[in-house]
Structure 1
């Protein structure tokens, strides 16, 4: 269960999922979201797996979806990709074991949503995180906005979605968007240490904590809702196509 841009390994009771191929800031393609969702659902069924760490390949986390997939894509194809993303994020949120994101460099757009779907987010002090999607004609969904607002509040969600700016690590931890900030290059080691500590605790206690936490997060996507009912982001199609082509032709950094 892997692609060139999604793979996994087992380290004792901790499963590690690695995303991206080390190029294009670890952007993910349509099939990658399917595989990632399947991995997150399957790994907790493996004997002994008690926690999952998600990291990017190389020295970055993920800038989101691979824009190349959307060149000449139909409106329906783009919409399906967003539904597949949302299915993946909900699979992470519903995982029976804790999932920890180890973020170096950047987590933007779908990469940001992927990190925020995890129970804990460990952010490198050199990293940035945010949702610079409006300039691509992407219309934020309820589910996407909820992942920001449940951690950092409505005001910060408005700031990120309306301005498209990326938060520094210091800003992100101060507003509660991420769990903790660590020295550059140590996000994965720290996340793995945390996962190992969690895995050593009684399974029933961790499961109870996850259930209780889900009840005190009113903005969280409701249990039982699916990607279709929570409406992954739609796009202003003409603006979207033009913005994607401009982005790819100029290769501006995300």
Structure 2
């Protein structure tokens, strides 16, 4: 697929960068953008050379939200279908076997906040703004916001953000646990690449098993979650990475994972 609304760069060090590139529309998510994101993450999921993914936006916005001009005329059945498209696409991001880092460079509102929530780790520019303003538009969050936000910042704060349609800055996002770190705008991508590089140096299979165990376990009771972890732990011992990692430790050298 030839991408029109996103940029996909694969670097030699195992890092891929996906940039939503509708700068004039503040990277608003329409059906075309969602389709391209779905294709890109399917490709990244299957590419063994990719160890970590960075997702960001062009210009001064990460994603300013879903495209209101596309949503405004929709009837109930069409709204359901559009919501499903967004949810399905974001689920591909969440379930991508590679860790995904959101480099939130500006506005992350509505669908943009929800897209960042589907990523594993969120880094924010000091100028970033987060919010779920949908109730001010007469709708609910529709791309996973009512579910992922509560799992990230807790029930009370998620409800306050959604009910008030308020917008918060990077410092407040850090305080409530919505983002991991804040950086100055000109340092954000360098720091995202630094973090991705650190992740990419570790065992890809171990990182992938860890992501799967975390994402699947958090949805279940503790006993089921422990079984999920035991299974992932056991599977690691069938990999060359486990052999190499422990051999390197015993030989007091850096591992060379393949």
1:230: which partner in 2?
Answer: none
Q: Distance in 1 between matches of 2:71 and 2:141?
A: 18
2:235: which partner in 1?
Answer: none
Q: Distance in 2 between matches of 1:41 and 1:56?
A: 19
1:7: which partner in 2?
Answer: 7
TM-aligned CA distance change 1:72 to 1:211, over 3 Å: closer
SS state at 2:62 partner: coil
2:90: which partner in 1?
Answer: 89
Task: Provide Cα deviations, 1:44-65, integer angstroms capped at 9, x if missing partner.
Answer: 3224111111110123211121
Name structure 2 gaps, 5 residues minimum.
221-258
SS state at 1:197 partner: helix
The range that moved more, 105-114 or 69-78, is 69-78
Q: Distance in 2 between matches of 1:19 and 1:2?
A: 14
TM-aligned CA distance change 1:149 to 1:27, over 3 Å: same
Runs of 4+ in 1 over 3 A off after TM superposition: 71-75, 140-143
Retained in 2: the 8 A contact 1:113–1:147?
yes
Matched, 1:123 2:124: yes
Q: Distance in 2 between matches of 1:134 and 1:84?
A: 20
SS state at 1:177 partner: coil
The range that moved more, 191-200 or 118-127, is 191-200
Q: Work out the number of aligned pairs and report it.
A: 219
- Give the structure with higher Rg (CA): 2
Shift of 1:32: 1.4
1:106: which partner in 2?
Answer: 107
Q: Distance in 1 between matches of 2:165 and 2:2?
A: 32
Shift of 1:216: 4.4
Name structure 1 gaps, 5 residues minimum.
220-254
Task: Provide Cα deviations, 1:9-29, integer angstroms capped at 9, x if missing partner.
Answer: 111211111103211211121
The range that moved more, 112-121 or 40-49, is 40-49
TM-aligned CA distance change 1:46 to 1:211, over 3 Å: closer
Task: Provide Cα deviations, 1:125-158, integer angstroms capped at 9, x if missing partner.
Answer: 1111110100111124694212111111001111
Q: Distance in 1 between matches of 2:19 and 2:68?
A: 20
Shift of 1:177: 0.9
TM-aligned CA distance change 1:142 to 1:48, over 3 Å: closer
Shift of 1:208: 2.3
Aligned alpha-carbon RMSD (Å): 1.8
1:196: which partner in 2?
Answer: 197
TM-aligned CA distance change 1:140 to 1:111, over 3 Å: closer
Q: Distance in 2 between matches of 1:95 and 1:4?
A: 22
Quick one: higher RCO (CA 8 Å, sep 6+), 1 or 2?
1
Retained in 2: the 8 A contact 1:129–1:167?
yes
- Counterparts of 1:1-254 in structure 2, within 5 Å, are 1-12=1-12, 13-140=14-141, 143-218=144-219
Retained in 1: the 8 A contact 2:87–2:143?
no
TM-score under structure 2 length normalisation: 0.79
1:232: which partner in 2?
Answer: none
